[in-house]
Amino acid sequence: MLRQSIIGEELRNTPHKYQENRFVPMKYLITTSYAWYNRGEQLILLYCIQNIPFTFDELPEISKQNPEIIEKANSERSWEVEDLYNASRYLIMEECHPLMNEIELENPELMPADL
């Protein structure tokens, strides 16, 4: 009986092969891209977390004269007010909105400067 008790204790204290992979908080990736907004009327710099937009900066009118920025924006999806609202709302519901929730970021230096 004592031997069974000792073996049982050893089994309880021995980590299972899957217990080695302890929970490690995920670090989220911030990306930026140029895009068109509001029916293609406004050029924006879009901030995304895991490819889901969470905010944007409006670019000055002079940006529309830069062919490199125009080319990059044309290669991306065009966004509408409702699209960005829904994306932001989703991130808020999942508690992953980087402006409202404290989360681990791989590259926090890409966060908007004025926030």
Residue 83 maps to a domain: yes
Look at the chain and report how many structural domains it folds into.
1
| pLDDT in the model for residue 109 | 93
- Digit-coded pLDDT (tens) for 8-58: 555 555 555 555 656 667 799 999 999 999 999 999 999 999 999 999 999
Q: Are 103 and 96 in contact (CB under 8 A)?
A: yes
Percent of the chain with pLDDT over 70: 78
Rounded Cα gap, residues 68 and 64, in angstroms: 10
Residue 78 burial (CB count, 10 A): 13
Residue 46 maps to a domain: yes
Statement: residue 108 has pLDDT above 50? yes
Residue 69 maps to a domain: yes
| pLDDT in the model for residue 38 | 94
| pLDDT in the model for residue 16 | 57
Q: What is the pTM of this model?
A: 0.76
Residue 73 maps to a domain: yes
Q: Are 35 and 41 in contact (CB under 8 A)?
A: no
Residue with more model confidence, 17 or 70: 70
Residue 65 maps to a domain: yes
Cβ neighbours of residue 59 closer than 8 Å, sequence gap 6 or more = 34, 42, 43, 44, 45, 69
Rounded Cα gap, residues 85 and 53, in angstroms: 9
